[in-house]
Amino acid sequence: MAVTAGMVKELRDRTGAGMMDCKKALAETNGDLEKAVDFLRKKGLASAAKKAGRVASEGAVGSYIHMGGKIGVLVEINSETDFVARSEAFQELVKDLAMHIAAAAPEYVRPDEVPAEMVARERDVLLAQPDLQNKPENIREKIVEGRLEKFYSQICLLNQLFVKDDKKKVSEYVGEIAAQLGENIQVRRFARFVLGEGLEKREDNFAEEVARQMAGE
């Protein structure tokens, strides 16, 4: 059974879970709304979105230095309480995201941080692609929106596929930990440093090295 936007909205309204989680739940349950609700409850995701409005001012700054000191990452992740920030699950989240950032090299945390002029430029490029020129305007816009999602998945941390499990996005992983810990968890900011970045040097594939290291843990 095809999952429609209306079905996703209804499930979100009933459970407060994220859009991607609702879509996955409906797909897993063949569109059965009640079973999808149970699916989300079992995963601990049914109230995750309701936590998102709560203040998260505690947390931790984590770091990752790649072997040999050629790449380094700092990331700040916030929680509601210091108790949760000290938990094993939260500390593992911080570590995982620092390593993911080292491997995947995002530029922003989320799409709303991407400069408007960059999005406008990307949209213009996409609209000008040859395969869209003979399509009706409304169809072109829908296709462009879909391609912008791919653009965000390349440069925004939360939209990227998680390096340790490429069947889920980073945002889904964060949501799972938030549901597990029962608090609002937010990725606030990060910085990624590459030794000699901007200087003329030989190319080393740091991302592949980090991804291999994470997979081997």
Q: Show the tokens assigned to 141.
A: 């816009």
Domains present along the chain, CATH in parentheses: 5-50 (1.10.8.10), 56-111+156-215 (3.30.479.20), 115-153 (no CATH)
For the cut 60, the answer to whether the pLDDT of residue 205 exceeds it is yes
| Cα(145)–Cα(187) distance, integer angstroms | 25
CA-derived radius of gyration, the chain:
19
| Through-space distance between the first and last CA atoms of the chain, rounded to whole angstroms | 38
Contacting residues for 5 by C-beta, under 8 A, at least 6 apart: none
Nearest Cα neighbor of 102 from 197, 209, 216 is 209
| Cα(175)–Cα(185) distance, integer angstroms | 8
Please, which pLDDT band fits residue 156 given cuts at 50, 70 and 90? very high
- Tell me if residue 153 falls in helix, strand or coil: helix
Q: Which residue has the higher pLDDT, 128 or 74?
A: 74
Whole-prediction pTM = 0.68
Q: What is the dihedral of CA 170, 61, 70, 191, to 10 degrees?
A: 70
For the cut 90, the answer to whether the pLDDT of residue 193 exceeds it is yes
Nearest Cα neighbor of 169 from 179, 155, 158 is 158
pLDDT, mean over the chain: 84
DSSP assignment letter at 159: G
Q: Show the tokens assigned to 2.
A: 């095809």
For the cut 60, the answer to whether the pLDDT of residue 191 exceeds it is yes
| Cα(160)–Cα(154) distance, integer angstroms | 6
pLDDT at 53: 57
Nearest Cα neighbor of 96 from 195, 177, 184 is 177
Choice among 6-20, 75-89, 130-144, 202-216 with the minimum mean pLDDT: 202-216
Geometric angle at alpha carbon 150, from 148 and 152, rounded to 5°: 70
Contacting residues for 44 by C-beta, under 8 A, at least 6 apart: 176, 179, 180
Per-residue pLDDT tens digits for 57-70: 799 999 999 878 88
Helix axes 33-43, 5-15, angle to 10 degrees: 50
Please, which pLDDT band fits residue 192 given cuts at 50, 70 and 90? very high
Q: Show the tokens assigned to 191.
A: 């910085």
